[in-house]
Structure 1
């Protein structure tokens, strides 16, 4: 955060999604929280391009003492840059559920900024979302305390079944 504020170039090790580690030099612009992760938006001086770095994959950050002039970010702001970057890098994964509640009731219980709710009738609706994590989606929909059916993907049904088995085992009296 201080390097962003002071416009001081950083050197760090970065591990990509495949596990390969590289050394980077970058001019940090800002930190953004998106989903459950933090991202550093920076101009990668080695590649001469703007990049989004997951902070949990960044190690050994060292300020270099080199100050850099401000650059124009190719987005409205750092958050918009991260959103655009993530939408390009993540393969689209859709989840669709039939929820046994009105669209209004579901909207009251589920943050619909990252989902689409379509009414079917007065008592049911379809929830469509593009989750970054099926585990998180399973937890969110289980927490709704509404009846639902998973239309897709099958992997979400598998996650829910595994969660149900763990919860059922935890609810048994000790020693049974």
Structure 2
């Protein structure tokens, strides 16, 4: 039994050793060049640069709709693609951005509408999802929402005494 196992082990060792080829001979130089170009370009990202990172509407009346425009530029080395723009709540609506790739050096913009909800100092963030190195960028809007002069103050019910 030992001889059989020893014989099979020797046979397997010879089979593995005889099939060994020089791996360096299998390398195709065109594949190496293509991989080098691919790796060099994979480290290039678009960079989104905004004209402003925050917009302050100042004092506004409650329920008064206001809007602003955020302009941006692709200062990176690859085309910029904005896949989504979302706000932190439903009272702020980003719109009108291009979903087409923006070449390096190109400029774009999107608008943000705020419906004036809330009271006192209000701050909302808008997340821009793109193919940048970080994956997303954040811009903000702020406003001081004055109370609605036509709104009647809430009357608290008085508890009945027994």
Over alpha carbons, which structure has the higher Rg? 2
**Higher relative contact order, structure no. (Cα contacts within 8 Å, ≥ 6 residues apart):** 2
Structure richer in helix, relative to its length: 1
TM-score, normalising length: structure 2: 0.24
TM-score, normalising length: structure 1: 0.23
